[in-house]
Structure 1
Amino acid sequence: MSAGYAITTYKLQLCYKHLDWFKQTQSLFDAVLAFYYEQLDQNPQALSLTNQNLLRHLELKTIPQRNGTQPENPLPYKKVPLYFRRAAINAAISLYRSYDSRLKAWEENHKGQTEKGKPKPPGKLHASMLYYKGMYKDFDDKRIMLKLYTGKAWAWVKHRYTGRPFPENAETMSPTIVIKGKKVMLHIPVKEKVEDTRTAKERVKQRESFVVVAFSSSDTLAVCTAIQADGSTDYPYFIKGGKALAHRRKQLLGYIKRGTAGKKAPRLITQPVGNDALGVCPRGLSSYGQAEAGIVPQDHQPGRPNAKYYDKITRVTNHYAHEVSRKIVDYAKSHNAKIIVMPDYGNTFAKGTQHYLKTSVYDFIGRRIINDVKYKAWQCGIVVQQSNIRDSAKHCAKCGETIAKYNTEYQNPSQKFYGGRNFVCKNGHQGSTVLNTARNLGESFYQTFYEKAS
């Protein structure tokens, strides 16, 4: 069995004494990046070269050679370290290729039309500093020595950092320094070996067991159930936390609604909360909706009103998504499952057919959980497959009859009640609506793949 690898970025916080040195280094990095971006803009034909050859081409045009030959367009900054310069060149190449590809795609789709929607070159060129070997050394479990520009000269400075430990037998790759206000973060890609790299098709042929997951917007965020190769099911696992997440979000949104501009300013709650009042983001959600979904709107970036609350909503949502995804993967490992089957909700909320994708999309974090499960599962040698949800939430998993949903015993079950946590069918089968959805997904996946493979 061939082995593969998984790369996860660890985010560590640096302890520093000279924040201005990091800012000076970042400023110089952006200046070098902008210089090489301009070189590419003046000679776009060079993009036909590979990245390695393009880097060499730019260096020959801007750096004096060993034999004393002077370049055409010398780099206006002196004593820039080799690997610092190359990191800036690679960042410039990446930014320019991205803009060039977007521009060509627009030109192909808008031939002879107006300039409306034409991609614009980036106004401010910026990229976080990638440190190749030569710009850092003495990297261990507690410290790292970084080369920084003080404004006058380059200096080696030792820093401590805090964060989760690296896994055993893992390879750390080149770090990236990210400055966020007064915080300086060290983003370390960590490469881990994955022993089991079989495809899902191979695992089905070898009759491996699998786990099915369904999501909801109630207190139960996810339900997992394991299905063996013979079709039998194991005990389900209900992952809760929806009420705590909703409470924390509501609390933070209350701070935003009450406003932070002062007593004389009109409260946000009295203002219109539609797209006309707050603007629309690329995903089609209002600013209020972005906050519920855990997305920081463009109008609420750092330095804007209420930015800290939107940032907190994002962090809280990410925390629960990571926590639930870890529990899903641990459940699959405990049942020795090699496949995790999850719903396929499509790329937009409009494609979903479930009630929580239509009426309360802001509370739903299922897509985020799915993305987190994918890389966590791959690290453990488990693959994730997504299955079309179809009518899995509308029919009984035991008899196939249409189900009616309800919340409590005092509520009359109804087929049109979308928020019910429980269900009942005309044959008397009843139970959890989310567990019923998971079983339907598992049955559909089993019939489609396992029965055909047998």
Structure 2
Amino acid sequence: MAKATTTIKHILTSTPHHGTWFAANQALFNRVVSFYFDVIQSHIIVLDHSNKEALTILETLTHATKRNPSPVMPLSKIAEDIPAYFRRAAIHAALGSAHSFHTHLTSWKQRKEKAGIKGKPFHERPPVPPRSWQKAAILYQGMWKERTKQSIVIKVWTGACWSWIKVRMTGRQLPVDVELGSPCLVCKGTRWWLHTPIERHVHNPGTIEKQMTTHAHTSLCAVDLNINENLAVCTVQTVEGTILATKFIRGGKRIAGFRKRQLGRIARNRSRTGIMAEGQQDNGDLWKKIRHVDEKCAHRISARIVQFAQQHQATILVFEHLGNLRPAKGTYSSRSNTKRAYWMKGRIFTYAKYKAYTMGMLTSRVSPRNTSRECACCHNLIVRYDAGKPVEGYMPGAPLAFCLECGMKGNADRNASLVIGQRLIARYHPKEKPQTLRRVSKDTGVVVSQDAGCEEGPSILVAGHGESNEHGTAHDVRFRMDEPASDIPHQLRFLF
């Protein structure tokens, strides 16, 4: 069995003075964390022990008891009568920050030493300890009680004393078959949220290599992400190469049009003023609207991808390993629109990765080289064209594909998703060396090289990409925004 962790978020509907108390409680928590970080810096040997042993050592150094009336660095200088669970939550937060800082410092020293041995100049600055602390206050078991679906009683520092207060909360209900972690108080803008981590035990499907080599019935879902109307095209296929189902997730034109309108408004507002205050965000409401819509769309698309894969019992998700995609030159709104569309593709992969893991699926990535140019049947170069246009040349972003060698004809994005799945299969089931993409004469209209600034974006030659498997994490519930999957039973190959 494996564990998958996610977070359930609830909005706290509290009064204004409750918000003041939460802020005072968080400020005290960060002062205690900062204090223990300094203690660890003074006794660096603490990091050589386990967290449980380090907790005992730090409490001995700071907490006064009958057996230890005079600690070396008393916590009472920060505040009196700090609850034990509050103190221990701060100690664990400080230990995490200290481990992170010293890991980065050790890595920096190694890079400096390596550069010195090679005689190369080394201008990289060393990492520094945190200058400010903005950690959310963690509520261990003794700091909250009487939790229901609509309310919770928590113990907070009001600035004058410790007090139990009851606050109402709204949001998604907690699942039944999970283990609850320690919630924490998080401030977002003027609202306070309660974040509760949950752990779910899921079946461990084994590594991708094991699934691909030992189970003949393994199915994988290959996903081709785009920035045109088809935001994602998913095909489920078996290890033997049988195509089981296809799903087109549309809506790209709608989201791109909305984003472009907002960016146009931002550009017009900037042209009117001509002055932007340094250190301040201009057009904050419009930028916030764009971010929220992109975030919502990324969650919706990733949820539908994972649901489609689960519906057809796929255990592996396959994406392209996209790197530094650069938008084509153009107006400010057009270039920024394309750039944010690329960012949204990265979010879709990230969200699909963790959503898939809680359903027992792993995630992998393959090289994006020529995925939109290869024929899924014979791996020769294809022609991409628009409906009603001559079947010749290669038009980036065109919806239709045709292979001059084998006669394959169909949707270009579906063909690309099939190639993505085939590349993962070929990684663990190597066959004879495939036929190299041969150059053809220019009179056929097929171009070998691809423009890095094309609008489609998924198969550029200069993109940074890798060949390694990427594993991720997700939900075993049906998402409310999901739609029934639409399968395409027919094969991709047609007679031309």
TM-score, reference length from structure 2:
0.76
Indicate the residue corresponding to 2:13 in structure 1.
15
Task: State whether residues 391 and 402 of structure 2, in contact with CA within 8 Å, keep that contact through their aligned partners in structure 1.
Answer: no
1:71-118 deviation line (CA, Å, top 9, x unaligned): 122111101111111111221222222222222222221246666522
SS in 2 for 1:125: coil
In 2 relative to 1, CA 157–251 (structure 1 residues): closer, same or farther, beyond 3 Å?
farther
| Count of aligned residue pairs for this structure pair | 409
From 206, 210, 223, the counterpart of 2:215 = 206
Task: State whether residues 40 and 96 of structure 1, in contact with CA within 8 Å, keep that contact through their aligned partners in structure 2.
Answer: yes
Indicate the residue corresponding to 1:322 in structure 2.
299
SS in 1 for 2:20: helix
Distance 2:112 2:54 in 1: 30
1:14-42 deviation line (CA, Å, top 9, x unaligned): 11112100011011111111211222223
Indicate the residue corresponding to 2:28 in structure 1.
28
Q: Which amino acid aligns with 2:188?
A: K
1:200-247 deviation line (CA, Å, top 9, x unaligned): 233332222222111111011110111135422123110012112212
Indicate the residue corresponding to 2:266 in structure 1.
256
CA shift at 1:196, angstroms?
Answer: 4.4
CA shift at 1:11, angstroms?
Answer: 1.7
Indicate yes or no: 2:282 matched with 1:305.
yes
From 84, 98, 101, the counterpart of 1:96 = 98
CA shift at 1:411, angstroms?
Answer: 6.5
Distance 1:343 1:321 in 2: 16
From 163, 178, 189, the counterpart of 2:171 = 163
Task: State whether residues 215 and 366 of structure 1, in contact with CA within 8 Å, keep that contact through their aligned partners in structure 2.
Answer: yes
Q: Which amino acid aligns with 1:400?
A: H
Indicate yes or no: 2:257 matched with 1:247.
yes
Q: Which amino acid aligns with 2:401?
A: F
SS in 2 for 1:96: helix
Distance 1:191 1:176 in 2: 15
Indicate the residue corresponding to 2:353 in structure 1.
374
SS in 2 for 1:134: helix
In 2 relative to 1, CA 97–349 (structure 1 residues): closer, same or farther, beyond 3 Å?
farther
From 393, 403, 412, the counterpart of 2:382 = 403
In 2 relative to 1, CA 381–407 (structure 1 residues): closer, same or farther, beyond 3 Å?
same
Indicate the residue corresponding to 1:286 in structure 2.
none
CA shift at 1:164, angstroms?
Answer: 1.5
Which shows bigger deviation, 242-251 or 218-227? 242-251
Q: Which amino acid aligns with 1:67?
A: R
Distance 1:311 1:81 in 2: 39
TM-score, reference length from structure 1:
0.82
Indicate the residue corresponding to 2:340 in structure 1.
362
> Which runs of 5 or more structure 2 residues have no equivalent in the other structure?
327-334, 432-496
Indicate the residue corresponding to 2:421 in structure 1.
442
SS in 2 for 1:234: strand
Indicate the residue corresponding to 2:225 in structure 1.
215
1:295-314 deviation line (CA, Å, top 9, x unaligned): xxxx66xxx43344333333
Indicate the residue corresponding to 2:399 in structure 1.
421
Indicate the residue corresponding to 1:235 in structure 2.
245
Which shows bigger deviation, 26-35 or 426-435? 426-435
In 2 relative to 1, CA 228–68 (structure 1 residues): closer, same or farther, beyond 3 Å?
closer
Distance 1:196 1:116 in 2: 42
Indicate the residue corresponding to 2:154 in structure 1.
146
1:134-165 deviation line (CA, Å, top 9, x unaligned): 01111222211111111111111111111122
Task: State whether residues 155 and 165 of structure 2, in contact with CA within 8 Å, keep that contact through their aligned partners in structure 1.
Answer: yes
Distance 2:199 2:256 in 1: 35
Which shows bigger deviation, 105-114 or 130-139? 105-114
Indicate yes or no: 2:58 matched with 1:58.
yes
CA shift at 1:189, angstroms?
Answer: 0.7
From 312, 333, 340, the counterpart of 2:317 = 340
Indicate the residue corresponding to 1:271 in structure 2.
none
Give me the identity figure in percent: 30
SS in 1 for 2:141: coil
Task: State whether residues 413 and 423 of structure 1, in contact with CA within 8 Å, keep that contact through their aligned partners in structure 2.
Answer: no
Distance 1:177 1:11 in 2: 10
Distance 1:326 1:451 in 2: 32
SS in 2 for 1:236: strand
In 2 relative to 1, CA 114–382 (structure 1 residues): closer, same or farther, beyond 3 Å?
closer
Distance 1:27 1:447 in 2: 55
CA shift at 1:130, angstroms?
Answer: 1.1
RMSD: 2.8
Q: Which amino acid aligns with 1:26?
A: Q
Task: State whether residues 87 and 132 of structure 1, in contact with CA within 8 Å, keep that contact through their aligned partners in structure 2.
Answer: yes
Task: State whether residues 258 and 267 of structure 1, in contact with CA within 8 Å, keep that contact through their aligned partners in structure 2.
Answer: no
Task: State whether residues 259 and 267 of structure 1, in contact with CA within 8 Å, keep that contact through their aligned partners in structure 2.
Answer: no
Distance 1:414 1:306 in 2: 43
1:377-398 deviation line (CA, Å, top 9, x unaligned): 1211222222223322212222
Which shows bigger deviation, 424-433 or 91-100? 424-433
Distance 1:406 1:66 in 2: 83
Give the alignment of 1:274-289 within 5 angstroms: none
